[in-house]
């Protein structure tokens, strides 16, 4: 179908891409969008007050390809740009994209087909590949390893307090579902993680395709690295706020925190201040066992009851430790999501 005919029809998917000062990567990104196997899309490119040639670059392409739409609201911030783009999206499905990443040619086609097959999926991500390789550090490798293991609806609902289970620019979502949740929220927190938490709390279903459909660029000056709303403390505060409202903490069971070290307690204390103190801390360090923290005992794992189980929150985040702890709890009959959760 000619491009002008495609642009006139309601597209099957709208690509939502806010950008600011992205001229050095926009060509690669736009090339990957325009090379999609699925052609009936529109791109909503929202310029968040760029001071370089980014907007002009998009505008030049939009003259030749009517599927590309440029919005220039001025400096409104990332969340403002996302919500403006969400309102301007014409399609019932919206695919997020960042201006420094690259799409696999089949990304839109595969995600649209999957969401059409399963109407119960509200947000669908994919696996991602990080580049360039020389910037990939151990912590990010571990995050991607965990991301790859977190695929089913149950995985994402049960692991949601550990980390963000979806890479934001990899997702496609149902526009009216996200609008019904109020769109993106602005605050002292990462806007994407907040949205996934709201989705899970609202009973919305998250999913992930097994294919690698996004090349996710590592940059030292990326939003997620320099914005204080994406700091570890910001993530911890956000988790605690949602965890405090989780129905599983309101069922009358004793609450146990696994991890009695200072760094662990700094994060778990956020939940205590929101009205959820533990009955005990669990630790394997012999020097901590038998001590009391603010009057609360530190016990060994074997002292956890196997009947009338408490609800356990594992706050230990050392590489490999959450999996070892989960394995031990499961051998004792504890079930993920029902009897314990891992908290990042």
Confidence band, pLDDT 50/70/90 cuts, at residue 221:
confident
- Computed from CA positions of residues 253, 259, 260, 266, in that sequence, does the dihedral angle turn out positive or negative? negative
pLDDT for residue 262 is more than 70: yes
Buried-state track 3-34, b at ≥16 Cβ within 10 A, e below 16: eeebbeeebbbbbbbbbbbbbebbeebbebbb
The structural domain count of the chain equals 2
Reply yes or no on whether the pLDDT at 8 is more than 80: no
Task: Name the pLDDT band for 223 (thresholds 50, 70, 90).
Answer: low
Domain holding 59: CATH number? 3.90.550.10
Confidence of residue 21 (pLDDT cuts 50, 70, 90): very high
Q: What are the contacts of 51-55 at 24+ separation with CB within 8 A?
A: 51/21, 52/21, 52/22, 52/23, 53/23, 54/19, 54/20, 54/21, 54/22, 54/23, 54/26, 54/99
Q: Is the confidence at residue 260, as pLDDT, over 90?
A: yes
Q: Are residues 53 and 149 in the same domain?
A: yes
| pLDDT at position 55 | 98
Whether residues 137 and 261 share a domain: the answer is no
Per-residue pLDDT of 273-295, as tens digits, reads 999 999 999 999 999 999 999 99
If DSSP states are collapsed to H, E and C, what string results for 100-134? CCEECCCHHHHHHHHHHHCCCCCEEEEEEEEECHH
pLDDT at 297: 97
- Structural tokens at position 196: 């996934």
Q: Are residues 180 and 280 in the same domain?
A: no
137 and 214 housed in the same domain: yes
**Quick one: pLDDT at residue 343?**
98
Indicate if 256 and 125 belong to the same structural domain: no
Instruction: Report d(CA 75, CA 49) in Å as an integer.
Output: 4
Q: Is residue 159 part of a domain?
A: yes
Please give the share of the chain, as a percent, with pLDDT higher than 70.
Answer: 97
Both 98 and 184 in one domain: the answer is yes
| Residue 66 to residue 263: CA distance in whole angstroms | 53
Q: For residue 136, is it within any domain?
A: yes
pLDDT at 241 over 70: yes
Domain boundary among 176, 204, 237: 237
Asked whether residue 299 is domain-assigned, the answer is yes
Residues 226 and 319 in one domain: no
**pLDDT score recorded for residue 5:** 52
CATH number of the domain that 267 lies in? 3.40.50.720
Average pLDDT for the chain? 95
Question: How far is the C-alpha of 247 from the C-alpha of 152, rounded, in Å?
Answer: 21
Find tokens 């309601």 and name the residue: 10
Confidence of residue 7 (pLDDT cuts 50, 70, 90): low
Per the model's pLDDT, the better-predicted residue between 43 and 225 turns out to be 43
Q: Which of 181, 205, 237 is the last residue of a domain?
A: 237
Question: Do 294 and 219 belong together in one domain?
Answer: no
Whether pLDDT at 239 is above 90: yes
Domain co-membership, 137 together with 262: no
DSSP state of 60: H
8 Å CB contact between 314 and 334: no
What is the pTM (predicted TM-score) of this model?
0.94
Among the candidates 237, 270, 303, a domain finishes at 237
pLDDT of residue 193: 98
Q: Which is more confidently placed, 133 or 335?
A: 335
Say if residue 154's pLDDT is above 80. Answer: yes
Per the structure block, which two tokens stand in for 202?
Answer: 């609202």
Residue 209 within any structural domain of the chain = yes
The rounded percent of the chain whose pLDDT value lies above 90 is 92
Shared domain for 139 and 11, answered yes or no, is: yes
Is 245 domain-assigned? no
Instruction: Tell me the pLDDT band of 199, cut-offs 50, 70 and 90.
Output: very high
pLDDT band at 182 (very low <50, low <70, confident <90, very high): very high
Note whether 218 and 274 are same-domain residues: no
71 and 134 belong to one structural domain? yes
For range 180-197, the mean pLDDT? 98
Parent domain of 329? 252-342
Q: Which of 39, 214, 18 is nearest to 125 (CA)?
A: 214
Nearest of 245, 269, 267, 261 to residue 298 by alpha carbon: 261
Q: Cα–Cα distance between 284 and 201 in angstroms, integer?
A: 33
Average of per-residue pLDDT across 297-326: 95
pLDDT tier, 2 (very low <50, low <70, confident <90, very high otherwise): low
Tell me the residue ranges of DSSP E strands in the chain. 13-19, 41-47, 68-71, 93-96, 102-103, 123-131, 172-174, 206-217, 255-258, 280-282, 292-293, 296-299, 311-314, 340-342
CA angle 33, 35, 41 (to 5 degrees): 55
């Amino acid at each position: 179908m000619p491009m002008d005919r495609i642009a006139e029809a309601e597209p099957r998917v709208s690509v939502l891409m806010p950008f600011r000062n992205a001229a050095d990567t926009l060509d690669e990104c736009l090339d990957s969008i325009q090379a999609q196997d699925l052609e009936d899309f529109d791109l909503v490119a929202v310029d968040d007050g760029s001071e370089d040639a980014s907007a002009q670059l998009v505008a030049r392409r939009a003259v030749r390809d009517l599927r590309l739409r440029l919005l220039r609201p001025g400096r409104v911030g990332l969340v403002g740009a996302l919500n403006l783009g969400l309102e301007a999206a014409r399609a019932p499905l919206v695919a997020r994209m960042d201006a420094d990443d690259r799409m696999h040619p089949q990304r839109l086609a595969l995600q649209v087909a999957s969401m059409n097959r399963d109407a119960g999926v509200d947000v669908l991500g994919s696996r991602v590949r990080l580049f360039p390789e020389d910037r990939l550090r151990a912590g990010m490798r571990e995050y991607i390893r965990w991301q790859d293991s977190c695929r089913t609806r149950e995985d994402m609902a049960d692991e949601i307090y550990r980390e963000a289970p979806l890479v934001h620019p990899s997702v496609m979502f149902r526009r009216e579902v996200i609008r019904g949740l109020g769109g993106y929220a602005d605050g002292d927190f990462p806007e994407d993680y907040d949205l996934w938490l709201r989705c899970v709390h609202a009973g919305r279903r998250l999913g992930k395709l097994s294919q690698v459909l996004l090349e996710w660029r590592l940059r030292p000056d990326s939003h997620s690295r320099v914005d204080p709303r994406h700091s570890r403390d910001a993530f911890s505060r956000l988790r605690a706020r949602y965890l405090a409202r989780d129905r599983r903490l309101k069922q009358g069971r004793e609450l146990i925190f696994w991890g009695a070290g200072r760094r662990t307690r700094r994060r778990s204390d956020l939940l205590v201040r929101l009205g959820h103190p533990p009955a005990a801390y669990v630790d394997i360090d012999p020097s901590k066992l038998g001590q009391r923290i603010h009057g609360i005992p530190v016990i060994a794992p074997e002292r956890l009851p196997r009947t009338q189980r408490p609800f356990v929150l594992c706050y230990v985040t050392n590489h490999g430790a959450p999996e070892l702890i989960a394995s031990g709890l499961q051998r004792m009959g504890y079930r993920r999501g029902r009897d314990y959760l891992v908290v990042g």
